[in-house]
Amino acid sequence: MTDLKQSYSVRLNDGHFMPVLGFGTYAPDHTPKSQAAEATKVAIDVGFRHIDSAYLYQNEEEVGQAIWEKIADGTVKREDIFYTTKLWATFLRPELVRPALESSLKKLGLDYVDLFIIHVPFAMKAGEELLPKNASGEIILETVDLCDTWEALEKCKDAGLTKSIGVSNFNHKLLELILNKPGLKYKPTCNQVECHPYLNQSKLLEFCKSKDIVLVAYSALGSQRDPQWVDPDSPHLLEEPILKSIAKKHSRSPGQVALRYQLQRGVVVLAKSFSEKRIKENFQIFDFELTPEDMKAIDGLNRNLRYDKLQFAANHPYFPFSEEY
């Protein structure tokens, strides 16, 4: 295979390269963390070089261990891996940003990450609790100026702790807030958002492209439907008849079609699975092509269905989903 770094990568606005297909490592709480390590090793073995995790996922020790085992056995070098971590909502205060990244680095055993992104635009009460709640069980939010948080990320890049910086779950207004910040040093390289045929984000994608910001898709295969975040009654994307018929025509799976769809529209796509068979399958999307008719049919599935609504933050001034895009 040719040099994966260039051939299956997109150039970010800061000059670094991001592989267009990434491996997602999030799993619901009841999944043993050891599975994240095993799955990450399988993913690297089958060819994934972009690994996506986060402080919130509480699996960075395991994922880091998997990466180091694959370096130790000669499968990859550190520089072959593109690793993303995310700044959780309890650390958006500027003075907490670098310590949060350093805490992830320590767990991973890495001296830098490739990408550090703001996980969500709204802050939660600072402290050790991942989801700080009040006596009535509601998540406690606070307001931190995103421009101040962003400056702290810029400093992490300057310090060499991360190669690139970006955001997640931002709408176009929140992106503009950063882009129009006086004294902006670095633009966000990417915006990682929920994106799949039922929520294809075409307006946000167009906006991001116009600003040279890469859109990265999570829940690209629908969602793992963690009841903590997702309504159990939401439709199953991979059962969609149109995806199934396109898949059949190409002798592929609906999941492979959903992933390929994103690549062809210039979206970097994350695929999460802890099953060895599906991890292999999810990587096999570079050797077939959807026709313009296929693409149009999949575009037609859009129904603005959001699996992860983050409804608890609906009244926060930075709540991202009250805007159309």
162-168 and 113-118 beta bridge pairing:
parallel
Contact 205, 266 (CB under 8 A): yes
From the number of C-beta atoms within 10 Å of its C-beta (0-12, 13-18, 19+), residue 170 rates as buried
Instruction: List the beta strands (DSSP E) in the chain.
Output: 9-11, 17-19, 21-24, 50-52, 82-87, 113-118, 123-124, 141-142, 162-168, 190-194, 214-218, 268-272
User: 3-class DSSP state for residue 88?
Assistant: coil
- Please give the annotated binding residues for substrate, written as ranges: 119
In the 8-state DSSP scheme, what is residue 140? P
Whole-angstrom distance, CA of residue 121 vs CA of residue 323: 14
Sequence-separated (6 or more) residues with CB below 8 Å from residue 2: none
CA angle (217 as vertex; 176, 321 as ends), nearest 5: 50
| Strand pairing category for 9-11 and 17-19 | antiparallel
Tell me, yes or no, if 186 is annotated catalytic: no
Query: Strand locations in 158-296, DSSP E?
Result: 162-168, 190-194, 214-218, 268-272
Out of 57, 83, 198, 318, which one is annotated catalytic?
57
Answer yes or no: are the C-beta atoms of 185 and 207 closer than 8 Å: no
Residues involved in catalysis:
57
